[in-house]
């Protein structure tokens, strides 16, 4: 049955055919929505519990200037993060400019010349290639005499336990585990899987630091990687934990020693966590964290809707429509650049900010191929907001994420389908053939 919303979709450029198709896919997912609502309920209570335990008060929202000594709001927020992640300590700062910076900070502060960094889950996220020195870059770990090695996942996406065991050596100091698939078509790792991997690594070498790149994973499960043995979890506040409100920032949560190292690197030896004025960032950090479980759930709904819709149209999707979720990213493989471009342009047309602009592929710093990005966001570049990224290289997959509200995510996916139909990439009679 069609709801009364048909007309407003039509006013916003969605044909009746696309609307009906989208509604039919949406209606088939009611059971999944109930599970996601339960997940977000759990995580909402986890966040409120941590805020209450640490007596978050009105004074915590005020912020400091200058050196930022005795910043009650900053110190309390770091305790709240530590409690949510069940870690000894946390560093949550507007001075951490983005996720790459947070990860670089964790690595550069906890590795020393002569140490080796090891990734047991294959190539890390594109921007980390320059941090590590896989692609030559000024200031990379490699320039400081820190080596890097990796073992790829097996073709079926599982861990290469033998290879991992063989790769760990005397110099292995820190193991980096990326939870999310990033710009790759490999599976995202569940928290339980990360736990198994950490267990194996600690059996081979107990004193190695296990760090998880938690970007896009926060609040997609009831547990976080720090609940299964990770010594350090790291992420961006313009993704899940910022709830769409944080205008900047990154976080690290983990063992006190590793957080302390990071703090001395972020500010200065001798100063550490004691300085770093929060300026006016705290209200958005707190309120964003409060909203994060709910916002993440909305993004999950948008991703699952996209998976089911494009799967039925015959495009390879990772994860598929039925799989359990461990991050908010949805990959759809179009197999040619035109599909990637049309999809991203459709997402852009659904934006509340910059909905009138047309994205094109460009050579973004930090990436090794042109990338097209659909990002009409209130916070520039925020990918917890409805956004899509497509590197223009085989297999020509698009990575879709976010949506502060599920209604926006649903509209975005409808718009993308509309664009693919208008450009003739999906046949006009798609709806009669595929439902
Ligand atoms: C986004 C992301 C990063 C980098 O974060 P930026 O904020 O874009 O610098 C690193 N790793 C993963 C898995 C990511 O998704």
How confident is the model over 297-327, as pLDDT tens digits? 999 999 999 999 999 999 999 999 999 999 9
CA distances from 193 to 43, 94, 347 (A): 20, 31, 32
DSSP state of 190: P
Summarize pLDDT for 344-376 with one digit per residue, the tens: 999 999 999 999 999 999 998 767 789 999 989
- Least confident piece of the model among 183-187, 224-228, 415-419: 183-187
Specify the ligand 1 atom closest to the Cα of 100: 9
Beta partners for residue 313, in sequence order: none
Q: How far apart are CA 119 and CA 103, in angstroms?
A: 13
Does the model's pTM come out above 0.85? yes
392-425 pLDDT, tens digit each: 999 999 999 999 999 999 999 999 999 999 999 9
- The answer to whether the beta carbons of residues 253 and 259 sit under 8 Å apart is yes
Residue 179 CA: nearest ligand 1 atom is 13
Residues with CB under 6 A from ligand 1: 98-100, 103, 125, 127, 178, 180, 182, 213, 215-216, 236
Nearest CA to ligand 1 atom 6: 99
Best residue for ligand 1 mutational test, from 93, 101, 182, 252 (most atoms within 8 Å of Cβ): 182
- Ligand 1 atom closest to 383 (CA): 1
Please, which pLDDT band fits residue 427 given cuts at 50, 70 and 90? Answer: confident
Predicted pLDDT of residue 19: 96
| 191, pLDDT greater than 90 | yes
Q: Has residue 435 got a pLDDT over 60?
A: no
Distance between Cα 99 and ligand 1 center (Å): 5
Rounded-to-integer distance, Cα 424 and Cα 427, Å: 6
Considering only the C-alpha atoms of the chain, give the largest distance between any 2 of them, rounded to a whole number of Å. 68
């Amino acid at each position: 049955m069609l709801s009364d919303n048909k007309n407003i979709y039509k006013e916003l450029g969605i044909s009746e055919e696309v609307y009906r198709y989208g509604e039919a896919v949406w209606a088939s997912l009611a059971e999944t929505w109930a599970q996601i609502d339960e997940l977000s309920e759990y995580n909402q209570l986890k966040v409120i519990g941590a805020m209450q335990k640490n007596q978050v008060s009105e004074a915590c929202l005020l912020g400091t200037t200058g050196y930022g000594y005795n910043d009650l709001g900053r110190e309390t927020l770091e305790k709240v993060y530590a409690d949510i992640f069940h870690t000894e300590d946390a560093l949550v700062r507007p001075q951490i400019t983005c996720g790459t910076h947070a990860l670089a900070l964790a690595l550069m502060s906890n590795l020393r010349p002569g140490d080796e960094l090891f990734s047991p889950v294959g190539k890390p996220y594109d921007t980390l290639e320059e941090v590590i020195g896989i692609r030559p870059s000024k200031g990379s770990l490699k320039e400081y005499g820190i080596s890097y090695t990796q073992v790829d996942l097996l073709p079926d996406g599982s861990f290469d336990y033998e290879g991992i065991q063989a790769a760990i050596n005397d110099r292995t100091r820190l193991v980096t585990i990326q939870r999310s698939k990033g710009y790759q078509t490999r599976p995202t790792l569940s928290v339980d899987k990360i736990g198994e991997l950490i267990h194996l690594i600690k059996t081979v070498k107990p004193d190695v630091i296990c760090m998880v790149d938690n970007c896009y994973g926060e609040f997609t499960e009831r547990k976080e990687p720090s609940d299964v043995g990770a010594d350090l979890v790291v992420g961006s506040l313009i993704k899940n934990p910022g709830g769409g409100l944080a205008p900047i920032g990154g976080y690290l949560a983990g063992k006190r020693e590793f957080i302390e190292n990071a703090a001395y690197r972020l500010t200065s030896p001798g100063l550490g966590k004691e300085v770093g004025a929060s300026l006016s960032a705290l209200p958005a950090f707190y309120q964003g964290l409060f909203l994060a479980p709910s916002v993440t759930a909305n993004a999950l709904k948008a991703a699952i809707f996209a998976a089911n819709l494009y799967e039925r149209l015959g495009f390879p999707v990772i994860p598929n429509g039925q799989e359990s979720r461990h991050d908010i990213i949805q990959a759809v493989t179009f197999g040619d650049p035109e599909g990637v471009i049309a999809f991203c342009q459709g997402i852009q047309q659904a934006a509340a900010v910059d909905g009138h602009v047309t994205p094109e592929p460009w050579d973004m710093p930090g990436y090794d191929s042109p990338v097209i990005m659909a990002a009409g966001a209130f916070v520039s570049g925020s990918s917890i907001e409805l956004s899509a990224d497509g590197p223009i290289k085989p297999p020509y997959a698009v990575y879709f994420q976010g949506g502060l509200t599920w209604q926006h995510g649903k509209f975005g996916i409808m718009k993308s389908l509309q664009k693919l139909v208008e450009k003739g990439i999906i046949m006009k009679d798609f709806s009669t053939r595929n439902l």
